[in-house]
Amino acid sequence: MKHSFLNINLPLVLASQSPRRSKLLSLLGIPFDIIPSDLDESMPDNMHPIDYVKTLSLHKAQHIAKSLKSNSLVIGADTIVVINDKILNKPLDRDDAYKLLSTLSNNTHEVFTGIALVESQSGKYLSDYKCTKVSFRQLLDEEIWDYIDSGSPMDKAGAYGIQDDFGAFFVDHIEGCYYNIVGLPLELLLKRLKEFANEIAG
């Protein structure tokens, strides 16, 4: 299917099981399929955050691209939370979620999202990233535990979501792209999609 304003003649595939990324991508008004990546996401802890998200998003997209029989353009993404040069992933359990949220309380952290575009037939790819600074207010213990009791933090990097739950009330202010925090920097993605479409069109 051709997306006229992007000049893409290939079907798009989102290599993610995140409902938040799917919802954001749909805002662009571009038809796409979803094929979640079951790739092992473990990475060395000492990697720089930029290398971490760019590498993992590319691996996700390449993993799905290799499984496709027809030529497609695959989108991969990965989001991490970083504070004091330490990467905070999804919480392991309730106690870990409490530890992560206590660390973010009354502090400023960074959210990195890597995006990758892969043409499945040729293997050509493009990758990039976005960083947004997020500052939390001082959180009360009861607020943290109430949030954990909701179950919402357990599938989110840094143990919070800014978009659709109480995690939004933890945020004092942000510097940068809001959608990047949710998991897909739309302006950057659209820009790179246009560039990549022109590149593979030759």
Active site residues: 78
User: Token match 């009354």: residue?
Assistant: 106
Distance, CA of 39 to CA of 167 (rounded, Å): 28
Single out the residue of 132, 125, 135, 107 nearest to residue 184, CA to CA.
Answer: 132
Distance, CA of 167 to CA of 159 (rounded, Å): 9
Single out the residue of 186, 190, 165 nearest to residue 176, CA to CA.
Answer: 186
81 CB-side CA count, 13 A: 25
Pair of tokens at residue 112:
């990195």
Count of CB atoms situated within 10 Å of the CB of 95: 10
Count of CB atoms situated within 10 Å of the CB of 114: 25
Residue type, 133: K
The answer to whether the beta carbons of residues 121 and 65 sit under 8 Å apart is no
Pair of tokens at residue 181:
């925090």
